[in-house]
Structure formats: structure tokens, C-alpha cells
Amino acid sequence: MKSHRIENPLWIGLAGMLTAALLGCQPMRLPPPTGDRPAPPVEGSAPAEPAPRVEKAPSEATPQLHASVTLTETGRALLEAGRTDAAIREFERAVSLNPHHGPGYYYLAEAWLAKGNTSQAETFHQLARLHLRDRPEWKQRLSAQSNRLQRGKAGG
């Protein structure tokens, strides 16, 4: 943990009081971890699901992230081709390379939905929600997936 010792307590204390009075004191929050932010779905378009889309890893991303994006894209193509089991393998490899890879979980949920396993789909959907929570472009898709999950569960 970070530790900082204040050298000139009175001055800094007064400055702190003033700052707190002006801004209100919010809990300090570190910036979210970087490296898990592939570019949004087809740029400029509203996310429709499950529409084909091109994922891109940001330039500062780790090699693992780039690789997980590649694997997710491969898996997505397999999923669209109806090769659900093969697609699941690719998505599993994607999230094993980068455990924070939200799209990987999203598509794992899609694949399990396609197989009619709503319980598995639900688990991965929750992980997708967790890892895509700061990605507004995924919100609509996640909601739609959630609806389908509910319908799937209701349908038995």
C-alpha cells in the first residue's frame, strides 16, 4: 500500500480543509486498470446483437490482449458458422490469455445460450457485465443478452 508522511502538517492541514470545503471530500479512486479496452464495435454504429463486428485492441494493450482479441474474433466467426463447440474453445482461450477480456465472456454466454445451457450462459454473462461495465457501447448488447437469458430460463 502507498504510504505518505506529511512533512508540514499545519500548512497542509489548512490546505486540506480548504480543498475539502470547496470540493467536498470524495473517496480517492485510482484510474481503472488499463489494457482491457478493445475498440468499440463497428465504429459509429449502434451496437446491434449479435451482429458481426471488428474488434481492435488499443495500441497500448499487452500482447495477451491483442491475442485474446484475435481469438475472440476467430470464435465469433465460428459461432456464426454454427460451430458452437469450436467457438467455445476459442473464447475460453481468449479469456485464459486475458482474464479481464469482457468480450470473451460475452461471447461465451452467447455460445452457451446457443447450446441452450442457460446456467453456463448466466455465469459468463455476469462476468461479461463485470468486465464491460465501463464500456457503454456494450450496454445495449448486455441488456439484450440478459433478456434472452431470462426468456431461456423461463422456457426451461
Q: Which residue ranges make up the site for another protein (CB under 8 A)? A: 1-6, 9-10, 13, 16-17, 20-21, 25, 27-30, 32-33, 35-36, 62-64, 66-67, 70-71, 78, 83, 85-86, 88-89, 92-93, 95-100, 108, 120, 123-124, 126-127, 130-131, 133
Shorter beta-carbon distance to another protein: residue 28 or 154: 28
Q: Cell 455465469 sits at which residue?
A: 123
Shorter beta-carbon distance to another protein: residue 44 or 85: 85
Q: Are 38 and 58 in contact (CB under 8 A)?
A: yes
At residue 149, what are phi and psi to the nearest 5 degrees? -60, -45
Shorter beta-carbon distance to another protein: residue 65 or 141: 65
Shorter beta-carbon distance to another protein: residue 126 or 140: 126
**Closest among 40, 44, 74 to 57, alpha carbons compared:** 40
CA distance 147 to 27: 35
DSSP string, 79-97: HHTT-HHHHHHHHHHHHHH
Q: How far is the CB of 44 from another protein (least distance, A)?
A: 24
Q: How far is the CB of 47 from another protein (least distance, A)?
A: 22
Q: Are 106 and 141 in contact (CB under 8 A)?
A: yes
Q: How far is the CB of 43 from another protein (least distance, A)?
A: 20
Plot region of 35 (φ>0 → left; ψ -120 to 50 → alpha; else → beta): left
Q: How far is the CB of 110 from another protein (least distance, A)?
A: 14
